[in-house]
Amino acid sequence: MKKMLLELDQVDCFYSDLQVVRSASLQLQSGEVLCLLGRNGAGKTTLLKSIVGLVKKQGVIKFCGNEIGDFPAHEIPKLGVGYVPQGRRLFSELTVRENLLIGQMTRNNNNDVFENVFKLFPVLQERLEQESGTLSGGEQQMLAMARAMCIEPAVLMLDEPTEGLMPQMIANIRQAISTLKSQGVGILLVEQRVEAVLSIADRVAFIENGLIKETFDVAELSTDKSLLQKYIGI
């Protein structure tokens, strides 16, 4: 049975006094991939940042039924909300191992999560002592995801994880997302590639000028292409 993980109700987000997202409401269940789709500047990244406490916001944000809107940013990952920002943002002078350890250190248990991570991204095991700044773009993306997975998240938020990657790497990332989904992780995905969205997402929320317009099942989008034309001009 699916469990409700993340609920946003009437969330407004601000940069200083400038309102960027208005009245955003959405829900994410375990083992579900929900994709935020919209043009550049629509407010997708801002909405993700508001969930992890990096942006000023109003409204209700619940994780597993508990209100987390007022939690400081450093408390939210400990609850089980992982976030992989756009552009990877690794600690480039640290090795792959050290990046993973930093991800692992905030957990409250001593489970060996490395094994799970290496099953998904075997290449990281070969690069353990390599400085992360010297990895290829795809490997860096894998490491960014792996590091977020080290907190054993119930919800993983990925901001354009396939941006700028070669097709083989994109396939690897997609495969990893599918595996996480099958393990019951709820995934909130920001993605620009429509074909990627249609192949891995369960639902798609269209966001435009800071407003979530509508949410559709992927099956609806696959059959009615006019919806994509309407919201993102494809």
Partner 1 sequence: MDSKNSQILSLGIHAAVVISFYALQYVLPEYHLLALTRIMLLAIFALGFNLLFGYTGLLSLGHAMFFAAGMYGAGLTVYHFGWSVPGAFLFGVVCGAILGFVIGMIALRTTGVAFMIVTLMFAKVSYLVIVYFTTYTRGDEGLVMPAEFRGFELLGMSISLTDSVTRYNLALLLLTLTMLIVFLLVRGRFGRALVAIRENESRTRMLGYNTFAIKLKVLTASAALSAMAGSAYALMFAYIGSSFATIQYSIDPLLYTLLGGAGTVLGPVFGTFSMFYLIDIASEYTSAYLLVTGIVLVLLILYFPKGVFGAIRQKYCRWLP
The site for partner 1 (CB under 8 A) is made up of 52, 54, 72-78, 83, 85, 89, 91-94, 97-98, 101-103, 105-106, 129, 131, 147-148, 151
Q: Which is nearer to partner 1, 72 or 233 (CB)?
A: 72
Distance (Å, rounded) from C-alpha 145 to C-alpha 176?
9
Find the shortest distance in angstroms from Cβ 137 to partner 1: 17
Distance (Å, rounded) from C-alpha 203 to C-alpha 194?
12
Q: Which is nearer to partner 1, 112 or 195 (CB)?
A: 112
Distance (Å, rounded) from C-alpha 223 to C-alpha 103?
40
**Antiparallel, parallel or unpaired: β 33-37 and 203-208:** parallel
Find the shortest distance in angstroms from Cβ 54 to partner 1: 7
Find the shortest distance in angstroms from Cβ 32 to partner 1: 22
Find the shortest distance in angstroms from Cβ 194 to partner 1: 28
Q: Which is nearer to partner 1, 43 or 103 (CB)?
A: 103
Q: Which is nearer to partner 1, 35 or 51 (CB)?
A: 51
SS3 content of the chain, % helix, strand, coil (to 5): 35, 30, 35
Contact 57, 223 (CB under 8 A): no
